[in-house]
């Protein structure tokens, strides 16, 4: 049994933030009905690094986010499609959409409309800026939110600044926030029987992720300074050169710094007034780093990492992505499952990374082809084969 067995989710989302939210629900066993436009579906079907897959409407970006889901198509501007959609709302528990504010209202499917059909429905709207406020109706992509949130101002260094995070972090965090919120709303409904509306903004979602930096500004009145690969909270903590490349070292505690100095045969630095105390050491990090690297470049990264970790100093190599996803630890943790995608072959897709000992969340089904489950779903709500064939010929599905 899965945690969300019996929960049906209408997924009207596209690209990343919404599909990532519903992926969490799919991992946990919810039935995800992905409602797509009949022409070409979720835009992510055309997004990815393999043009052949994009033409098949199975782009790598789509494949990554849509396992364990069903796909049906509906032209929601058509009156007959609207009738079908309302019947689906009657038998569903959750609706998730990531349109701009107002789009669902104009279609006649805003929360107020749908809650009359199903008062227990949990309706989650994901948008760049939220449903209200001076920026609510502005278009938003991940990079726009990275810039407006202050996130890009934290990254880089004096040579390269501002700098975006190398993956769509705001979309991803927004989706994670939505999934968490939906689970909380389901728990509330379990106790009270009440559905509700959830307003998730990407801009809001990323703010708490910068908590320490924001706290320094809001409480301590300290503006962030772009520090590249250095950790602003401690020193020595960051990236350092070795004989064969680089190593991450996080000697964040005083005892870790002192042990590091001993292991590098630099014990005298522990009493150096520039480095003796934590906050002073942070201010003098640029004097400390070359002294450490004089020693670090004498041995390989792997040797240093083994020695430091053995002595309770967190450290590690800086892996390329292909090395990271194939590392023994990732394989041991069962982070990926292999599924067969028609026309693509066997692919590795993420499992849920939280490990439940009784109800684990895994990928068991490949992402759906466009409209793969339309007929199956329409039959659930009472439509005949003749009606379905008619709707298909009219472009309703």
Q: What is the 3-state secondary structure (H, E, C) of 195-237?
A: CEEEEEEHHHHHHHHHHHHHHHHHCCCCCCCCCCCCCCCCCCE
Give the confidence band of 397 by pLDDT, cuts at 50, 70, 90. very high
Average pLDDT value for the chain: 96
Please check the confidence at residue 384 and state whether its pLDDT lies above 90. yes
Residues annotated as part of the active site: 171
Please check the confidence at residue 29 and state whether its pLDDT lies above 90. yes
Average pLDDT on 317-342 reads: 96
Q: Quote the CA–CA distance of 176 and 24 in Å, as a whole number.
A: 8
Q: Please enumerate in sequence order all residues whose Cβ is within 8 A of that of 308, keeping only pairs 6 or more positions apart, or say none.
A: 249, 260, 263, 314, 315
Of 225, 231, 239, 98, nearest to 150 by C-alpha is 225
Q: Quote the CA–CA distance of 264 and 381 in Å, as a whole number.
A: 70
Please check the confidence at residue 93 and state whether its pLDDT lies above 90. yes
Q: Looking at domain 237-319, what is its CATH homologous superfamily?
A: formyl-coa transferase, domain 3 (3.30.1540.10)
Quick one: pLDDT at residue 219?
A: 96
Tokens 């792997």, residue located: 302
Residue 315 pairs with which residues in a beta bridge? Answer: 249
Tokens 């198509």, residue located: 73
Give the confidence band of 374 by pLDDT, cuts at 50, 70, 90. very high
Tokens encoding 274: 């520039």
Please check the confidence at residue 142 and state whether its pLDDT lies above 90. yes
Dump strand ranges (E) for the chain: 8-11, 31-36, 69-73, 94-97, 122-127, 196-201, 237-241, 246-250, 315-317, 336-341, 345-350
Give the confidence band of 158 by pLDDT, cuts at 50, 70, 90. confident
Q: Please enumerate in sequence order all residues whose Cβ is within 8 A of that of 392, keeping only pairs 6 or more positions apart, or say none.
A: none
Q: Residue 324, Cβ neighbours under 10 Å: how many?
A: 12
Please check the confidence at residue 1 and state whether its pLDDT lies above 90. no
Average pLDDT on 378-384 reads: 96
Q: Where exactly are the structural domains of the chain?
A: 8-209+331-393, 237-319
Average pLDDT on 272-276 reads: 97
Give the confidence band of 7 by pLDDT, cuts at 50, 70, 90. very high
Average pLDDT on 81-110 reads: 97
- Are 228 and 289 contacting, i.e. CB atoms less than 8 angstroms apart? no
Name the class of domain 8-209+331-393: alpha beta
Say what the pTM is: 0.94
Average pLDDT on 214-226 reads: 92
Q: Quote the CA–CA distance of 71 and 376 in Å, as a whole number.
A: 10
């Amino acid at each position: 049994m899965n945690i969300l067995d019996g929960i049906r989710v209408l997924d009207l989302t596209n690209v990343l933030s919404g599909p990532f939210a519903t992926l969490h629900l799919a991992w946990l066993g919810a039935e995800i009905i992905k409602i797509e436009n009949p022409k070409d579906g979720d835009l992510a079907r055309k997004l990815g690094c393999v043009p052949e897959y994009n033409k098949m409407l199975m782009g790598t970006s789509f494949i990554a986010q849509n396992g364990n889901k069903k796909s049906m198509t509906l032209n929601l501007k058509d009156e007959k499609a609207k009738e079908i959609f309302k019947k689906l709302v009657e038998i569903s528990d959750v609706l998730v959409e990531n349109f701009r504010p107002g789009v669902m209202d104009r279609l006649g499917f805003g929360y107020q409309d749908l809650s009359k059909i199903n008062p227990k429905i949990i309706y989650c709207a994901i948008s760049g800026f939220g449903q209200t406020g001076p920026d609510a109706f502005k278009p938003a992509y991940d990079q726009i939110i990275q810039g407006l949130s202050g996130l890009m101002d934290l990254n880089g260094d004096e040579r390269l600044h501002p700098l975006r995070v190398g993956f769509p972090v705001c979309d991803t965090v927004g989706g994670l926030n939505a999934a968490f919120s939906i689970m909380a709303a389901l728990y509330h409904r379990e106790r009270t029987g009440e559905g509700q509306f959830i307003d998730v903004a990407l801009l809001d979602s990323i703010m708490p992720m910068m908590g320490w930096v924001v706290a320094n500004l809001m409480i301590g009145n300290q503006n962030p300074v772009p520090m590249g690969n250095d950790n602003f909270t401690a020193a020595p903590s960051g990236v350092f050169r070795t004989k064969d490349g680089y190593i991450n070292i996080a000697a964040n505690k005083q005892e870790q710094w002192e042990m590091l100095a001993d292991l590098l045969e630099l014990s005298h630095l522990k009493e150096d007034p520039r480095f003796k105390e934590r906050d002073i050491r942070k201010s003098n990090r640029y004097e400390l780093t070359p002294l450490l690297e004089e020693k670090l470049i004498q041995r390989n990264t792997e040797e240093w990492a083994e020695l430091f970790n053995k002595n309770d100093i967190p450290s590690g190599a800086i892996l390329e992505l292909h090395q990271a996803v194939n590392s023994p630890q990732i394989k041991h943790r069962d982070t990926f499952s292999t599924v067969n995608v028609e026309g693509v072959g066997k692919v590795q897709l993420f499992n849920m990374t939280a490990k439940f000992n009784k109800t684990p969340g895994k990928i068991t089904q490949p992402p759906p082809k466009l409209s793969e489950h339309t007929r199956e779903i329409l039959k659930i709500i009472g439509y005949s084969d003749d009606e379905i064939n008619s709707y298909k010929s009219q472009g309703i599905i």
